[in-house]
Amino acid sequence: MSGSLADFIAGLPKAELHVHHVGSASPSMVSELAARHPGPVPTDVDRLRDFFAFRDFDHFIEVYLAVVDLIRSAEDVRFLTYEVGRALATEEGVRYAELTCTPHTSVLRGIPIEAYTEAIEDARAAVERDHGLVMRWIYDIPGELGVPAADATLTYALEHRPDGLVAFGLGGPEVGVPRPQFAPHFTAARDAGLRCVPHAGETTGPETVWDALHHLHADRIGHGTSAAQDPALLAHLAEHRIPLEVCPSSNVATRAVASLAEHPLAAFRDAGVLVTVNSDDPPMFGTTLRREYEIAADLLGLDEQGVADLARDAVRASYAPEEVRTRVLAEIDEYAGA
């Protein structure tokens, strides 16, 4: 990676389509939350950096849950949402972001859905006003909590629908959480005008991606890593222009792939699949969106124009309002000197 390509990536206007709300909390944000709620999580940012340093998947879950436990009030939700948006805009060059939120975990910890909705919407307006970042929401089902969590998440999406909600998702573990059980929820979300963006094929085989397509009518696939094992599936994704939200560092951290060198990103591109590059839970996986673009540039052998095309594909695969798509694509053109 030449320094100049890294600089180009840093300044490139981007869209981020697969990044989790709580999973985006940085050590400095967690320090503030830990100061509000004294307990086992350190407030010292250097100690927090050590705590965050990715060791293995179990440790990642430990960090994630520790952060979840620090989000106890609507004001905490507002703070985190605003800070995540601010960081995307000011540090990563993001102009448009779809943030995956899991409202059910906050409601389970005692935050009423009405207060949660108001907090994220207030933060969304403030981030757009202060930093020019347009944010939208994806509400995802924490799959490990099963159908009751899906019922609740659907209720939040339909009966307490925030203005910024564009899509309905499904996260959590895939093993032992069959996708078809959530078909009625995705049908109801789709009928209400939401797009369907489940995680699939991250830690299980291509059959989970097929399930997401056939049973959940996925418009985009979160990860889809194992699709690389199934040429018919790749052909289907390419033919129907169903984008994959690829998160390379996350896939290595969770051992979905053994190493970056073995990541199937190039295989997706060579099969004609529309790929987008995203960061998933960046501070917890020791990465940033810029870093993921650098990795993609290495894996795909991209120059500046190739990297700009990758950014354009993310805008095209997004559910941004038409005027935002047009504006960000024009910004990319201008930046890339097209």
The residues carrying an active-site annotation are 202
Spatial strand order in the sheet of 134-142: 14-20, 94-101, 134-142, 165-171, 195-200, 221-223, 244-246, 275-277
Here's the x/- map for Zn ion, 225-264, by CB under 5 A: it reads as: ----------------------------------------
**CB distance 40 to 62 below 8 Å:** no
CB nearer Zn ion, residue 98 or residue 280 = 280
CB of 282 to Zn ion, least distance (A): 11
Dihedral sign computed on CA atoms, order 175, 176, 180, 182:
negative
Query: 261 CB contacts (<8 Å, ≥6 apart)?
Result: none
CB of 77 to Zn ion, least distance (A): 19
CB nearer Zn ion, residue 83 or residue 280 = 280
Number of residues that bind Zn ion (CB under 5 A): 1
Find, among 225, 179, 228, 178, the residue nearest to 203 by Cα: 225
SS3 content of the chain, % helix, strand, coil (to 5): 60, 15, 30
CB of 85 to Zn ion, least distance (A): 18
Q: If DSSP codes are grouped into helix, strand and coil, which group holds residue 89?
A: helix
Between the two ends of the chain, the Cα-to-Cα distance in Å is 22
| 269-288 positions binding Zn ion, by CB under 5 A | 280
CB of 37 to Zn ion, least distance (A): 25
CB of 18 to Zn ion, least distance (A): 6
Angle at 230 between CA 98 and CA 226, to 5 degrees: 45
Q: How far is CA 39 from the centre of its chain?
A: 29
Residue whose CB is nearest to Zn ion in the complex, by number: 280
CB nearer Zn ion, residue 76 or residue 280 = 280
CB nearer Zn ion, residue 117 or residue 251 = 251
CB nearer Zn ion, residue 83 or residue 202 = 202
**CB distance 96 to 324 below 8 Å:** yes
CB nearer Zn ion, residue 280 or residue 294 = 280
Find, among 324, 269, 284, 309, the residue nearest to 8 by Cα: 309
CB of 222 to Zn ion, least distance (A): 5
CA distances in angstroms from 50 to 16, 25, 251, 305, 323, listed in the order given: 26, 15, 21, 37, 42
Q: Return residues touching Zn ion (CB under 5 A).
A: 280
